[in-house]
Amino acid sequence: MLADITITDLGVIHHATAELSTGLTVLTGETGAGKTMVVTGLRLLAGSRADASRVRTGADKAVVEGSFLADELSTGAQQAVAELVESGGGAADENGEYLVARTLSAQGRSKAHLGGRSVPAAKLAEFSSYVLAIHGQNDQLRLLAPEQQRAALDRYAPENARLLQNYQQHYREWKKLQRDLKVRTESRRELAQEVDRLQFAIDEIEQIAPEPGEDEQLIQRIRRLQDVDSLREQAMAALTAIDGPEAAGGEDGFTETDPASTLLGQAESAVRDSEDPQLAAIADKLGEITTQLGEISAELGGFLGELPADPDELEASLQRQHELKTLTRKYAPTISEVITWKDEASVRLSSIDTSAQALEELQKQVKVAEKDMRAAASELTAARRSAAVELEKAVTAEIQGLAMPKARLEVAVREIAPSDYGADEVELLLAPNDAARAQPLSTAASGGELSRVMLALEVIISAGTTGATMVFDEVDAGVGGRAAVEIGRRLARLAVHNQVIVVTHLPQVAAYADTHLHVAKEVTDETVTSGVLTLDHEQRVEELARMLAGLDDTATGRAHAAELLEKASRDKQQR
């Protein structure tokens, strides 16, 4: 349910805040006062498209903020809402409310926030699908679309959702196999050529048999092989200087000067036995240097031992590098990626089978999948037809109570070619009486009748829901008299387990409100400003009297308004 809403610089509304409660809330006010902007604000919170022209003239941006409670929704819906908000990084506040905000700049950019986190507007639409439903005159027109009529029937019968999901799984599997068969049949030659190309590439890679990272290792080895003579000379010179010509395997370049290890050992021996603390410390340092020099000598010996001695190894390495470059030119930039490409090609190759036997097997799979799909479609159609009988009876009873005493609604379920939503179409038909033939809503219903049919549908379909917020924007347009009273009564009944917000011009509807909000407009020479006020009992009497053809300043008008309120109160006590 919507706990409160704050609107800033949207249309004629400079700043308005309204706290809402459970039950039926009505918004009334003069034409142009800004009632529509309240609904526009709710639509923005529901993720609808943002229109920069809605920003109040002279303002930089418009802001709409709302707080929603989900504690009266079903357990499954509460969990779904919590997971949805958490997926966007948001959370409920300390009151357990989910804060929703939408900011619209005068330049046309908009921002959305859910649970304290910035989210795409589409995330608000997903959130609102659980907590908020808006019905306006445009929604009435959408009711004329076949897909909306089918959706209304499926909403009435929740079991249809499971059957539809089951059908869609079979339908999509059938379509997938059907597409695969078509591709294989029509592209058999191309697939055979692809098989040859893949097999050639895999054979070539396997014949060279590269190892992961081998190309990078070869670069380093070739560099060493190209510099092996200078590297050997440098290492031998260093080792000779440390340990003498014998350690380096000869006397080339050796002078009569003793090697560094000998001279360093002599220096250490000269001060090792000294009793002077400073010389003793120097002896220790010389000992450490001697140890390090020994380690360096060992490393130089190891380096010399690892240097390649085979004169043909450089040529072999260059040849290997050429083979690897053949692969990296064709298949991927590096050898590791070449190996990955080969693995993926092997998987693709195993999935392609152009033989007659494979096509025959695929044809069998298509037939089995089609049989399963049609069985699921038949089950869904049967459920829809059964629900259609119940829905048309229930809605007919409702619309006959809405000043259409002889009208009859029919819900036709007709077989069509399988689609993503079943193998049937749903159409709502309306007949003015039992003798007349039912016609499609688009041709049989006037604007007022369409409003009543939509309200009747919502009353019936929402009978099992709780905790949702339903907004009706002038669905009573074109209605008056007894029908208006009946609309008020049904909206009040719908509000027993849900929060219902209604924008109305009819006093008969407004009289049934549990909370009455009045949108007032103030016009000056330079600005037009609207605000929202919660009316007390006396203010409600005055407002209803105004709505009764402007009778707010007459005793007769106020008496009539008070009578309306008293009658509506008695009706609500009996619900």
At 463-510, the pLDDT tens digits run 777 788 888 887 776 677 777 888 888 888 888 888 999 988 889 999
Region 68-90: mean pLDDT is 89
Q: Give percent above pLDDT 90 in the chain.
A: 40
Region 183-191: mean pLDDT is 75
Q: Inform me whether the pLDDT recorded for 227 exceeds 50.
A: yes
Are residues 460 and 396 in contact, defined by beta-carbon separation less than 8 angstroms? no
Order of strands across the sheet with 61-68?
117-119, 110-114, 98-105, 61-68, 2-10, 13-19, 528-534, 515-523, 24-28, 499-503, 469-473, 132-135
pTM of the model: 0.63
pLDDT band at 448 (very low <50, low <70, confident <90, very high): confident
- C-alpha to C-alpha distance for 348 and 272, rounded to whole angstroms: 75
Region 207-218: mean pLDDT is 90
Residue with tokens 């340990």: 243
Q: Tokens for 420?
A: 């993503």
Q: What pLDDT score does 168 carry?
A: 96
Q: Inform me whether the pLDDT recorded for 525 exceeds 70.
A: no
pLDDT band at 21 (very low <50, low <70, confident <90, very high): confident
Q: Give percent above pLDDT 70 in the chain.
A: 92
Which residue did the predictor score with more confidence, 521 or 174?
174
- C-alpha to C-alpha distance for 5 and 567, rounded to whole angstroms: 30
